[in-house]
Structure 1
Amino acid sequence: MNLKTAFKTSALLACMAAGAQAETELTVYTGLEADLLDRYAQAFNKDHPDIKINWVRDSFGVITAKLLAEKNNPQADVIWGIAGSSLLLLKSEGMLEPYAPKGVETLDPRYRDSDEPPAWVGMDVWEASVCYNTVEGEKLGVPAPTSWEDLTKPEYAGHVVMPNPASSGTGFMDVSSWLQMWGEEKGWDYMDRLHANIAAYTHSGSKPCKMAAAGETVVGVSFAFRGAKSKSDGAPIEVLIPSEGIGWDIEASAIVAGTDKQEAAQTLIDWSITPEAMKEYNEGFAILAVPGIAQPVPNYPANTEAAMIKNDLEWTANNRAAILAEWSKRYESKSEPKS
């Protein structure tokens, strides 16, 4: 090899090494549905191919507990998609890095942290709903419910599945919303009566709807996105909004305090509220953190936004531990085994 060739080879290897070093890997904790992760990562990488996302995914409640357990030794760089109420809890523990992403002014004020700069920013809203299997309901003589109260009637005994609030953000959203709607005494009384009809509490918020879609239960207390998708995929279900109103929370994102990958983390949070990101979220969710972008989602309940209760996310975050302790004491006996 002559000197000129050797120089070119060395330069090429140096460039390749520099290119390899340029890629930043982010550990991203999420509670997003598993079938969304690849699509969201691919959309982000179209604009930022130099940042690789390494997902750590579980139900919202499990991810929240994992983050709290790692408080003194954080393993995540970014949280992309857990409940806003969970992020408020993490914020109170000093675990989030405040950051105002580009375009933060476009967010609906309800769907971002109120501090300046915000500790977290929203993506989309997910809302409680009931998935009802029309075939199984007719076969078993179980009518379509129109209210939460209906689910306590004798004909629903053994035909209702809902998520465990300790492991599922959707389950916690249900429980906290019932306590806000009716007050503690009436809220726990409702859950006592509902418990009598529950077949099982799952550790996933989407599983009750998947079970209803598969005919494994008549009624699955879940969330609207999963119900709409299951119905669009051909499942014989109706996605119902109970008449008393529904709980909701905001899927949101934040930077984990202490990450040594600040620049890449900020890039991801910047992208998470862009119109491009909102269009990705809108593939499944009908209400977005940035107004004016959402298009109708097939089979999404038409009255969803009007049925959303006035939700105090701060109250939800502050009372989380006490609510879960009381719920577990009363109802844990019907939880499915943890995998």
Structure 2
Amino acid sequence: MTVSVLPRGLRGALAVAALALFAGSAPAQAGKITVYTSYEEDELAAFLDKAKKDLPDIEVDVLRLSTGDLRARMLAEASNPKHDVIWGWAATSMVDPRILGMLEPYEAKGLDKVPARFRDAQNRWFATTGYMGAFCVNNEIMKAENLPMPATWQDLLKPEYKGRLVMPNPASSGTGYLHVASILQMMGEDKGWAFLDALDKNMAQYIKSGSKPCNVASAGEYAIGISFALRAIKNIEEGYPITMVVPSEGAGHELEAAALMKSSQNKADARRFLDWILTRAAADEYNNWKSIVTMSDRVMPERFMKAGLPADISTVLFDVDYAWAAENRDRIVAEWQKRYEK
């Protein structure tokens, strides 16, 4: 597989320099596909390096943009899409009816390894990876101040936690939105907003980044950071004195989905690439980077379980309605801002 990076047309987007190492001469009869993605640069480079070994006769041009920028790009190109495959993109964006209309159903080889909750019933998209919410709890603060270890969302309402919590702002952070959207779904909107009102009374601040609440809790600035699991795992591995807590009600999460474009002029190679996404080789590489790998034959890394994830990740995930989260995003964020932004 030969990989090159297309120029970006949107402000603030940077080329994935790490992918330059994949550039080279394709075989004379090589196929060629264009892939749009929102995977982070480092994990994207690792995934493509693995794919290169298994699909040496496919040349891949990759455009990487953030989820929102990629959404804007796809909608702007709706009348004449420029790519063959979309890969590693938020399911809550993929289920936009305008996007779904661009996708061609394809039952990729190995799709039976992906539980139904992680794929479209009409085979328009499937997700092999994702990320999930978690609390980062500073053990030293909890011990020094004799604070109870939380196990649930409801525990965070305890008066002892007043001024000790931080979480991402859902207006700027996908992690923040997955927390808010999952609370409103699991509790119902009336009870969910009442819970968020009560949680706000204990909140020290809302932070733009999804990872920073965990980082500041790890550094001892706050007792509890509401963040995501992989950030907690990495901080634990780096020696920070934190415990990762997955709320027992279930963790909100976002999937990173893949799909075939109807407009693709290279469907045979695009389908081969989508098949590869579901291989054991791909899953082994996902395991190094992702808290959520959806395939049923996944072997959870020992280091992830040591940090607190179960062997079967599906047992701790809240069953998110991705379409609802997508359809109601603007309304929910506007309501959240009206209530809590000061």
TM-score range relative to shorter protein:
0.7 to 0.9
Greater Cα radius of gyration, structure 1 or 2: 1
Written as runs of structure 1 = structure 2, the 5 A alignment for 1:31-180 is 32-49=39-56, 50-58=58-66, 60=67, 63-64=70-71, 67-68=74-75, 71=78, 74=81, 77-89=84-96, 94-115=101-122, 118-138=123-143, 143-180=148-185
1:321 aligns with 2:324: no
Q: CA deviation at 1:153?
A: 3.4
Q: Deviations over 1:226-260 (max 9, x none)?
A: 21222122222110022333223432212345455
The residue number in structure 2 matching 1:290 is 295
Distance 1:264 1:137, change over 3 A: farther
SS of 1:222 mapped into structure 2: strand
What is the CA deviation profile of residues 165-216 of structure 1, one whole-angstrom value per residue up to 9, with x for unaligned ones?
Answer: 3443322221121111111111011112222333443444333223333444
Report what 2:8 is aligned to: none
Identity of aligned residues (%): 39
Describe the shift of the 1:297–1:255 C-alpha distance in structure 2 as closer, same or farther (beyond 3 A): farther
d(CA) in 2 for partners of 1:225, 1:151: 21
| Per-residue CA distance 1:41-96 (angstroms, 9 max, x = gap) | 211111234424534243x4565466456545656553322332321125665233
Q: Which residue of 2 aligns with 1:308?
A: 317
Match of 2:283 in 1: 278
Residue 198 (structure 2) aligns with: 193
Q: Mapping of 1:21-32 within 5 angstroms? A: 22=30, 24=32, 26-30=34-38, 32=39
**Aligned equivalents of 2:280, 2:61: Cα separation in 1:** 20
Structure 2 counterpart of 1:281, one-letter code = Y
- 8 Å Cα contact 2:165-2:222 kept in structure 1: yes
2:130–2:292 Cα contact (<8 Å) kept: yes
Contact 1:62 1:168 in 2 (8 A): no
Unaligned residue ranges in structure 1 (runs of 5+): 1-15, 334-339
Question: 2: distance between equivalents of 1:51 and 1:17?
Answer: 9
- Cα deviation for residue 312 of structure 1 reads 2.6
- TM-score, L = length of structure 1: 0.78
Number of residues of Structure 1 aligned to a counterpart in Structure 2: 314
- Work out the CA distance in 2 between the residues paired with 1:96 and 1:292: 27
Alpha-carbon RMSD: 3.2
Task: Show CA shifts across 1:141-184 (max 9, x none).
Answer: 65432221232334434432222334433222211211111111
Q: Which amino acid aligns with 1:153?
A: K
Structure 2 stretches lacking a partner, 5+ long: 1-23
Q: What amino acid sits opposite 2:139 in the alignment?
A: T
- TM-score normalised to the size of structure 2? 0.77
Give the letter aligned to residue 80 of structure 1: W
**Alpha-carbon distance in structure 1 between the residues aligned to 2:308 and 2:168:** 20
